[in-house]
A and B are shown apart, each in its own frame.
Chain A
Amino acid sequence: MEHIELFFKSVFIDNMVFATFLGMCSYLAVSKKVSTAIGLGAAVTFVLGITVPLNWLLDQFVLQDGALAWLHPSLVEFDLSFLSFILFIATIATMVQLVEIIVEKFSPSLYNSLGIFLPLIAVNCAILGGSLFMQSREIASIQLATTYGIGSGFGFFLAILAIAAIREKIRYSSIPGPLRGLGITFIITGLMAIGFMSFGGMLTGGDETVPTKTDVAVEEIKDSTANGFAEDDENIAFESNNKLN
């Protein structure tokens, strides 16, 4: 149950592209055709599913405050979390290279469809973002981390597939010259993001008392856009509890 909830949360509510704007560069660059978009989406899902659990292990056993205790009791006072950026990105770059070599060896056909995207992925913000969010949201177990990785990858897949389909069709409509291409893609993405915001109510199930929009809305919104996205629902729940009391 926990897994299903996390999966849907990472696909719809915290969608990589629409909620956190991660992976926008490749999202814009590779979304001109549906077939290439599918290739990139699959590659991102694949790599996220591998790197997030790996970085979870790294975080738990090397980086966190006191995580080195398993090595020797005297190491318990070390806090290496300032090294997380450099270790996460090193893991990602190495994994991408490794995955590329393995896929090339064992499945040339998959390599042909996925291969050209793999080098691109090492510097895709969605991949590093997945690991960093995994760290800041303190995901509890390695299974959940895997679910989270695959879920966010699938969210990216969904987003890039949708925009590619729209861009293929929109070529036949008459858009004002200066807006053509990049401009309209941005605006469509914005509208899609507004659409995805409506999934926000999914976790509360609709039967909790939601605080009246007008008085808390502005502060809530400020909080949620500024501080990341994990705490939103808790904030809302917390606020509404306060109200009830």
Chain B
Amino acid sequence: MALLSKKDTKLITDPLSDNNPITVQVLGICSALAITAELEASVVMSVSVLFVMGVGNVVISMIRNIVPSKIRIIVQLTVIATLVIIVDLVLKAFAYELSKTLSVFIGLIITNCIIMGRFEAFALGNGLWRSFLDGIGNAFGYAVILIIVGFFRELLGSGTLWGIAVLGDPIDKTGLYALGYENNGFMLLSPMALIVVGIIIWVQRARSKHLIED
């Protein structure tokens, strides 16, 4: 028996394109925009969300039949908050500088609508394995957008990728800078994150016409 049936594979691949949590379901925008000035921060954020979503979906799916629906939001928030505290403490222990950069945005994973949204829409009505796949599928969809935005903002804004200068040295005027190229510092400011995501949505909808709103 295959590990992933056709339906299961769809759970992972769908959120990457046609059912992307950010550009189509419009969930979890807050954190996607605020921390994407550097590629490294985007990747760490994606991994944190991947962990919280994968584990959180499994836990919620396990307890879905014993939690009364009236208090389910508080129960869900408690589960997420516990997982986020774990992430926060791990980051503080092993990557202190980065956890300073991400500041309150790690805490804000708690209210990241992707997580609550997928709990409500999927994990409450489905079994363990499928919920887990849905969780990591959506986390990957989130990661794709974060990494694209982080890539362009860091490359165009500071001429580096993952902190490594790829376009040459702006002070010694080597590489591209010798030709008169300048970094676009504006890309590092927060409004450009919105505009970059807007452009990603434009490109995606131009490619798959059925997503166009009227």
Contact = CB atoms under 8 A, between A and B. Distances in A.
Contact of A123 (B73, B101, B158, B199): B73
B205 A89 contact: no
B157 to A, nearest CB: 8
A197 B191 contact: yes
B190 interface: yes
Interface in A174-200: 176-187, 189-191, 193-194, 197
A241 to B, nearest CB: 23
Interface string A30-60: 0000000000000000000000000000000
Nearest to A17: B30
Given A93-B73, A182-B213, A226-B101, A187 B194 contact: yes
B162 to A, nearest CB: 15
A21 B202 contact: no
Nearest to B214: A180
A21 B33 contact: yes
A212 interface: no
A140 interface: no
B113 A25 contact: yes
Contacts of B116: 123
A1 interface: no
A22 B108 contact: yes
A103 to B, nearest CB: 18
Interface in B141-191: 158, 183, 185, 188-191
B29 A86 contact: no
A165 interface: no
Contact of B26 (A29, A83, A178, A218): A29
A20 B34 contact: yes
A129 B108 contact: yes
A13 interface: no
A123 B202 CA distance: 28
A183 B41 CA distance: 24
A125 interface: yes
Nearest to B192: A190
Nearest to B78: A86
A119 B108 CA distance: 18
A182 B23 contact: yes
B26 to A, nearest CB: 6
B125 interface: no
Interface string A223-240: 001111000000000000
B110 interface: yes
Nearest to A129: B108
A128 B101 contact: no
A134 B214 CA distance: 41
A25 B73 contact: no
B212 A21 contact: no
A54 B77 CA distance: 19
Contacts of B30: 21-25, 125, 129
A63 interface: no
Contacts of B193: 21, 190
Chain B CB within 10 Å, residue with most, of A18, A28, A93, A225: A225
Given A90-B74, A128-B107, A187-B195, A178 B112 contact: no
24 contacts: A19-B190, A21-B190, A22-B108, A24-B29, A82-B88, A86-B78, A122-B73, A123-B73, A123-B116, A129-B30, A132-B107, A136-B104, A177-B212, A179-B201, A183-B198, A183-B199, A187-B194, A193-B190, A194-B191, A218-B183, A218-B185, A222-B188, A225-B37, A228-B103
Interface of A: 18-25, 28-29, 82-86, 89-90, 93-94, 119, 122-125, 127-129, 132-133, 136, 176-187, 189-191, 193-194, 197, 217-218, 221-222, 225-228
The 9 closest A-B CB pairs, nearest first, are A186-B198, A181-B213, A190-B194, A178-B205, A193-B191, A190-B195, A24-B29, A187-B198, A178-B206
